[in-house]
Structure 1
C-alpha cells in the first residue's frame, strides 16, 4: 500500500463512478456537525445568562451523539445506511423542535439537558456511513486512503464554516436561528444521502464477518487505543470551544467567538493536505501519541496571549494539528477494526471524540466561570499530555504485523 497520498489520488477518489451524489449530500448533512452544538450553547447562554448552564446543555448533545454514533453504526453494518438515516432524520426533526420550544418557554436547565441528549442520540450519522461507503466504491490503496483523508479534511472545512455561521446567526434578532439552520441542513443532507443509489445498494455485513462480541469493534485492543486518541482529541477541542467564546465575551466582543473558532481550522485544512503527502511519524503506533502531544502543547500555549488578536494567531498555529489527527484516526481504523465493522468502528471514533468534547465543554464551562479562559487552556494542555503518554504506553496494540505492515506506515 502507498505510504503517501498525491493530489491525483484525491481526484481519482472523488471522480469514482457512484461517488458524486453521496459526496454532495454528505457535504450538506455534515456542514452543521460543529454548528448545532455551538449554536445551542450560544442560544442557551443568551437565554440563561450563564456559560455553565449552556456548557452543560451543549455537552449533553455531544453525549447523545456519542451514544447514537455507535448504535446507528452497528445497525448500518447490518442493514445498510438508508433505513436508519431516514428514520433518525424524522425523529431528530421532531425532537429539535421540542428543544427550541423548551428554551423559548424558559424550561429548567435539567429539562433542556435531557432534551439535548435526545437531540444528540437521534442526529442522523452520515459521517460513518459516508466513510464506510468508500470501502465498497474503491479498492484498498492510495486512492482509498485519499478518500479517507478527504473525509477528514472536509470535516475540518465544516469546522471552519460551522462555528463562523453559528457566531453570525446567534447575533441575529432571534438567537435560535443557528440551531434551526443547522438542523434543516442536517435533515435535508441525510435524507438526500440515504436516497442515493450508492447508499441504497450498500450491503450489510455477512454472518462470517460479523463480530460475535457484544462490544463489537471496540473489543479490539487496537480500536481501544484509537478511541483513546480520539477521546483526547475531542476533550481538547471541547475545552477550547467553550474557552474561546468566553474570552471573546470577556473582551466585550461576544460575536467574535464563533469566528475565532473558525480560525482554529483554517491552518488545519492546509496542513492536512500537505501532511497526507508526507505523514510523520510514519508508523501509526508512533504517530497517534506524537500528534496528540504536539496538539496538547499548542493548546496550552493559548493561555499566553492577552488580546483577541494574539489568541487568534495562537489558534491558527494550534489548528495545524487537527486534520492530521482526524486523518490518522480514520486510517488507523483499517489497521485496528475487526473485519466487517467499518461503520461501527468509525462510530466508536466519533463517540470518543464527542464524549471527550462533552467532558471538555462541561469542565471548561466551570473553569471559565470561576477562573477564566487561560486556566481552561492550561488544564486542557495537561489533560492532552496525560492521554498522549497513555497512547505511548499502549503503542504495541497498533504496532505493525506482517498482515498490516504497509498499512501501519500509511
Structure 2
C-alpha cells in the first residue's frame, strides 16, 4: 500500500520521533559540506587545486570506509555509547586537520590526518534511517519515513555545499566553513545519541547481545555478503555515478551557454523538483515490486541525464532545464527505494551497517561520476557528461540481471494476499 500525506504526518509525529528528527537535521546538514569546505580551505591556504583535491579525496575515502565500519559497531553495541566516543575522537581529529592545513604541514601528513578524520566522522545517516524501524510499523508509514529521509538528504546535499562556498568567500578566515560543519556534526550527533528513542534502541541491542538473540553477520564483508543487499548497493552506486556526472555537467553546460551562475540555480531547482515529486511518487509508486523498481528508475534517470548531455552543446538553457527537471523527478524515488531495499534484504540486527553500505556506494559513485564527467568534458566539450548516463544504463542492465536476488526477499514484506 503506497504512502499518503497522512502517513508522513503520522511518521514525523510518532511519539519519540521529534527529538531525533531535529537532531538529525543539525547533524546531517554538514554531510555535503565537509569535503567541499576542506577543498576550498586547502586551496586558499596552499593556492593549489591539486593539493586541495588530494586532501579532500583522502577525507572522502576515510569517510566511506569509516561509514561501514561504524555501522557494524553501532549494530552490535547500540548507537549511544559508540557515537559519543566517536564525537570525542572526531573533535580531536578535525582539530588536527585544521591545524595541519593552517600551518601548511607536509602533504603526506595532512592527507593522513584527513583519512583519519574521515574514519572518525560519525556515520549519522545509517543510524537515523535504522531508527525508523523502531519508531514506525512496516508499511506505508515507514515508507513515508524513508521518503522523508531521502528528501532531507537531498536538501542537505544542495544547501551544504552552497553554505560552504558562501562561508569561505564571505568570512575573513577560509577555515570557517570547515569549523561550522564540524560543530554542527558534533552538536547534532551528541544530541541524537542522547535522545530517549536512541537510548532505548541502544538498551534493546545490548540486551539482545547479552542473551544471545542478536543476529551477527560474520566475516569481513558482514551483511554485505547477502546477494540482495549487494544488488541494492549496486543501484545506489549507479545512482551516485549518474548524479555525480550530471552535477559537474550542468555547471559546464551553463558556463558554455554564457551563464555560469545559472548552474547553481538549476541544481537548486533540481532539488526542489526532486522533493516535490518524491512525495507524490510515494503515494503511487511504480513499478510496485521493488526488484523491478530499482532497474527501471535507474534506467529512466540514466536516459534523461544522457539526454541532458546531448542537448548541452546546443547552448539552450531552457531546453536543458526542461530535460533536467524531468530527470530530477526520479532522484528521491530512487533514494527511497534504496532504503526500502535495505529493509527488505538485510536483517533488522544489521540495519545500520546495511544502510551505511548504501551511503558508501553512493559516495563512491558520486566521486567516480564527478571525476569521469570532468575528464570527458575536457575531451569532448560540455556534452561529455552524457557518458555518465550511458554507464548508468549499463548498471541498470546489471540490476535487471540481478533482480532475482531482491525478488527472493519480497514475500516477507509485501502485504498479505499479494505477491510481487
Check whether TM > 0.5.
Answer: yes
Structure 2 distance, partners of 1:129, 1:138, is 15
Kindly tell me: are residues 99 and 130 of structure 1, through their superposed partners in 2, closer, same or farther at Cα, counting changes over 3 Å? same
SS in 2 for 1:238: helix
- Is the CA contact (8 Å cut-off) linking 1:292 and 1:388 kept in structure 2? yes
Structure 2 distance, partners of 1:254, 1:118, is 36
| TM alignment of 1:259-408, pairs within 5 A | 260-303=266-309, 304-306=311-313, 307=315, 309-310=317-318, 314-368=323-377, 373-375=382-384, 377-399=385-407, 401-406=410-415
Encode CA deviations 1:314-367: one digit per residue, 9 max, x unaligned.
Answer: 543332211111100001112111342111111111111112223333444544
How many residues are treated as equivalent by the alignment?
A: 407
1:114 is the counterpart of 2:123: no
SS in 2 for 1:27: helix
| TM alignment of 1:94-173, pairs within 5 A | 94-107=92-105, 110-172=108-170, 173=172
Structure 2 distance, partners of 1:258, 1:35, is 15
Residue 213 (structure 2) aligns with: 208
Alpha-carbon offset, residue 56 of structure 1: 4.2
Residue 12 (structure 2) aligns with: 14
TM-score of the two chains, using structure 2 as the length reference: 0.87
Residue 83 (structure 2) aligns with: 85
TM-score of the two chains, using structure 1 as the length reference: 0.89
| TM alignment of 1:40-59, pairs within 5 A | 40-47=38-45, 53-59=51-57
Instruction: Tell me whether 59-68 or 110-119 shows the greater mean CA deviation.
Output: 110-119
Instruction: Tell me whether 55-64 or 231-240 shows the greater mean CA deviation.
Output: 55-64
| TM alignment of 1:172-183, pairs within 5 A | 172=170, 173-183=172-182
Alpha-carbon offset, residue 256 of structure 1: 6.5
SS in 1 for 2:349: coil
SS in 2 for 1:305: helix
Kindly tell me: are residues 239 and 48 of structure 1, through their superposed partners in 2, closer, same or farther at Cα, counting changes over 3 Å? farther
Residue 188 (structure 1) aligns with: 187
Q: Radius of gyration: which is bigger? A: 2
Structure 2 distance, partners of 1:27, 1:319, is 22
Alpha-carbon offset, residue 128 of structure 1: 1.2
Kindly tell me: are residues 395 and 405 of structure 1, through their superposed partners in 2, closer, same or farther at Cα, counting changes over 3 Å? same
- Is the CA contact (8 Å cut-off) linking 2:30 and 2:181 kept in structure 1? yes
Kindly tell me: are residues 115 and 322 of structure 1, through their superposed partners in 2, closer, same or farther at Cα, counting changes over 3 Å? farther
Structure 2 distance, partners of 1:109, 1:318, is 40
Structure 2 distance, partners of 1:227, 1:149, is 18
- Is the CA contact (8 Å cut-off) linking 1:333 and 1:346 kept in structure 2? yes
Instruction: Tell me whether 104-113 or 94-103 shows the greater mean CA deviation.
Output: 104-113
Alpha-carbon RMSD: 2.8
Q: Which runs of 5+ in 1 are unaligned?
A: none
Instruction: Tell me whether 361-370 or 230-239 shows the greater mean CA deviation.
Output: 361-370
Structure 1 distance, partners of 2:53, 2:262, is 18
Q: Which runs of 5+ in 2 are unaligned?
A: none
Residue 223 (structure 2) aligns with: 217
Structure 1 distance, partners of 2:45, 2:316, is 25
Structure 1 distance, partners of 2:255, 2:282, is 36
Structure 2 distance, partners of 1:385, 1:178, is 36
User: Which one scores higher on RCO, CA 8 angstroms, separation ≥ 6?
Assistant: 1
Kindly tell me: are residues 107 and 320 of structure 1, through their superposed partners in 2, closer, same or farther at Cα, counting changes over 3 Å? farther
Instruction: Tell me whether 168-177 or 278-287 shows the greater mean CA deviation.
Output: 168-177
Instruction: Tell me whether 204-213 or 345-354 shows the greater mean CA deviation.
Output: 204-213
